[in-house]
Chain A
Amino acid sequence: MRSRAWVAWVFMLPTLLVMAVIVFVPLAQSVAFSFTDLTNRNQGTIFKPPSWQFVGLENYTNILTGGDPNFYPTLIWTVIWTVVNVFFHFTLGLILALTLNQRFRGRTTYRLLLMLPWAVPAYITAISWRFLFNGEYGLFNAVLGLVSDQRIAWLSEFPWYYVAPIIVNVWLGVPFMMVALLGGLQSIPAELYEAAQVDGASRTQRFWNITLPQLSSVSSTVILLGIIWTFNIFVVIYLVTGGGPGGRTDILVTYTYQAFTRGDYSMAAAYAVVVFVLLISFSAVYRRFTREA
C-alpha cells in the first residue's frame, strides 16, 4: 500500500496548487503585511517607489489595547450576533427537522419550500429584506400603518437595527441546519425509540435521552460551521444595514472591509488575522470540548 501513496499525492496536487494560489499564499501575505504599515499611499506604484516598513506588533497592540476605539464594540456585537443567530438557526432548524421527520401529507412540498431560502443567492435575500424593512415604503411599515400612526425606521432605530439583520440571517441559515439535522435524525435507529416506548418513556424523555444525544455529533459539527460562517457573513450586514447607523451594526468582516477600501491594507490584514486567530482558537477549544463530551 505504501508504494501507492504517491498516486494520492498526484491526484491532490492540482487542488493543492490552486488552493495555494488562492488561499495559502494570500493568507501568508496578509499575515506578513499585518506586521507593516502598508497603505495605498506608501505601497509604491510603477511611478513611485514604495515607502512602507516593518513595524512589528504595532498594529496588533493598537487594536488590542483600544488604540482603535471601534474594535472592541464591533467584536462584542459580532459575538452577540453569532450567538443569537446560531441559537435560532439550531433551534428552528431542529424544530423543522423534527416536524419534517414525521410522515404527513405534503411533506415533500414543505421540504422543497423550506429549502428555498438556501437556494436564493444571499445578496438577493438581503436586498429584498432591506426593501421590506424600508422606513417609508416597506411592507412592514405598511402593515404597521394599519394599526398605528407610528412608522418604525427598522434599519436605523434601536433595537430594530440589531434585530433586522438577525431576522434576515436566521431566514438564510435555517435550511442548512434543518437539512443537516434531518439527515442526522433519519440515521437514528428506530429500535431505540421502540425500546424506549416499551420502557414507558414519554415523548419528552425520548427527545432528551435519545434524539439529542444521537444527534450530538451532527449538531456539534453544524454548530461549529454555523458559528464560523455567521461570524464572517459579509453580505447580510453590508447589504441590509450597511454597517448600520454610525457603524453600530458593523461586524468584524465589514469593519475590515472598510479599512481595506480606505487603503489601510496593513490594518485590514491585522484585523483579518485577529479574526482568524479568534476563530481557530475557538474551533480548537470547541473540538476538544465536544470530543470529551
Chain B
Amino acid sequence: MQRMTQLATALGALAIVVGACGGGASPTPAPATTAPEGTPAPTEAVAYQGEITFWNTMRDFELVEVQKLVDAWTAEHPGITVKMDPVPFDGADVKYDQAATGKTAPDIFRADIGWTPTFADAGYLLDLTGKIDNVDDFLNTPLATNKWNGKLYGVPQVTDALGLQCNGKLLAAAGLSAPPTTWAQLVEKGKAVTDLAAQKYGFYMRGDSYWAQPFIWGWGGTLFEVDDQGLVTVTVDSPESEKGFNYLKDSILGTVAPASWDFASDYDNMNAGFKGGTTMCILQGPWQVADLLTGDAFKDDPNNLVIAPVPDGEAGLTGSPVGGHNYVVYALVADDSAKEAAVLSLLNYLSTAESQAALASSVGLLPTRTSAYEIDSVKSDPKIADWRAVLAKATNRSGVPGASNIYKPFTDNYQLFLKGDKTAAQALADMATAWETTVFQDRLAK
C-alpha cells in the first residue's frame, strides 16, 4: 500500500510539473473567423505549414483586436497557426534580447521604437528592405524609427505622442473655451479650478523624465544630436533646458499642480484624478484614452475629453516625445524561405491601411499609414483628428542603439531637481555626464 501511495504521489508531482511547463500564455479568445469591418480578405497563398510565433506587448483589450486580424489571416491560410504570446511591456526588451541570443526569439515581435535600432544593431532583425508593400505610404517619423544603417528593419504599427488632455467642464469653469495653447495661459487660468488642499488640480505633473521632455523642447532645448555616422553629442545641459525646468518648478508646481507628490505612484494617481474629474489637464498619450473614457468624468459624455497639442513654452516652441511600436522579424526566419514568405504575408496583412484603421476605430491607436487616415472610420473620428494635430507638433526621438537607457539617469536627476536637492543646472549637467559615461560611451562624437 505504501508503495502505491508513493507511486501515486510521484506521478501526481510529475503531472503537476508537466502541466506547469506545458501551460504558457493566457488563453486567447475564441477566434472570430470573419475579418473585422472593412478589412479585405487576405489573398496570397503561401507554401509554409506550421507555426508562427508572435510576442505582443499590447494590453489585453488591445490584443483582442489584433487577434481578430490574425484570425482572419489564418482563416485564409489553413495549416498555419499563429501563436500570439502576450508579453508585459516592462522588461520585454530584456526578454527579447535574451531569447534572440538563445535562438528562441519569436518570429514577429512588437518592439517599442526605442528598442528597434538596438536590436537591429545587434543583428537580431531581418532586413525588410523591399519586402514591405507600399512603404512610401507610411508616415515619415514612425518609418524612420525602423531604419538603421540605411536598411529597413521593421514595420511601424502604431505611433503616439504625449498630448494635453483636458476636462471640458473644468476648462469652462476656468474661463477657457479651448485647451490652453501656452503654459502661461494654463497657469493663469488654471488657478481658478485649483485647490491644492482639496486635491483639485489645474494640472498634474509626473516625476518621470518622459513627461519632463516637453519642458526642455518647449524652451528650445534638445536632448542629444546624432550625426550621419551615428555619433552622439549630448546637448541637454543647455541654458534653454535650464529655463524650461525652472519654469516648471517656479510657475507650475505649487500653483496649479502639487509641489510635492508621490513619484512612485504618480502615473496611476494622475489618471485617477483626471478620470474622477478633479484635475483639469494632464499630459497623456493616446494609449490611455480608452481607459480614461471609463472614468466618472467622461463615461457619460466622451466629448468632455478634449485633446490638444502640448502647450507652448516660449514663443511658438513646443515638443512632445513621439513614441510608438514596430513589428520586427527575427533574423533567423530567413533560414526557411517558405516561413519567411508566410511571416511577411502576415506582416503585410497586419500593416494594410484597413487593418490599421480597424485598430484605430476599436482601441484608438493612431495608424502609421497616410492612407489609413483617409478611411472613413478614421477620418470621421474627431479624437484621431485631434491626435494628428498633436503629432504634427511632436518631436522625433533620435534612434540610436541603447538610447532608451537615457531615461533612468534622466528621471533620477529630474526627481532630485524637483525635490530641490539639485539646481536645474546641476541636475542637467549630471544627467549629461551620466549619458556620456553609461549610455553613449561607445559612440560619442569627439
Contact = CB atoms under 8 A, between A and B. Distances in A.
Contacts of B97: 40
Given A135-B269, A137-B272, A156 B260 contact: yes
Label chain B's interface by main secondary structure.
helix
Residue from A245, A248, A261 having most chain B Cβ neighbours under 10 A:
A245
A46 B261 contact: no
Interface string A34-61: 0000001101011110000000000000
A262 B122 CA distance: 15
Interface residues of B, number: 42
A263 B123 CA distance: 16
Interface in A223-281: 240-242, 245-248, 258, 261-264
B264 A242 contact: yes
Interface in B424-446: 438-439, 442
Given A136-B273, A137-B272, A262-B438, A47 B123 contact: yes
Contacts of A157: 260, 419
Residue from A156, A157, A248 having most chain B Cβ neighbours under 10 A:
A156
A11 B363 CA distance: 59
Interface residues of A, number: 36
Contacts of B121: 41
Label chain A's interface by main secondary structure.
loop
Nearest to A133: B262
Contact of B408 (A41, A156, A241, A262): A262
Contact of A155 (B263, B414, B416): B263
Contacts of B258: 153
A219 interface: no
A138 B100 CA distance: 42
A242 B268 CA distance: 15
A89 interface: no
Interface in B243-269: 258, 260-266, 269
Given A41-B402, A46-B103, A156-B263, A246 B421 contact: yes
B415 A245 contact: yes
A153 B262 contact: yes
B419 A156 contact: yes
Contacts of B305: none
A246 B264 contact: no
Given A41-B442, A135-B262, A245 B419 contact: yes
A258 B408 contact: yes
A158 interface: yes
B57 interface: no
A102 to B, nearest CB: 41
Contacts of A242: 263-264
Contact of B265 (A48, A134, A246): A134
| 9 interchain residue pairs of minimum CB distance | A135-B262, A47-B123, A246-B416, A246-B415, A245-B415, A136-B269, A246-B412, A153-B262, A247-B412
8 contacts: A40-B97, A131-B265, A134-B269, A135-B262, A136-B269, A155-B263, A156-B264, A262-B438
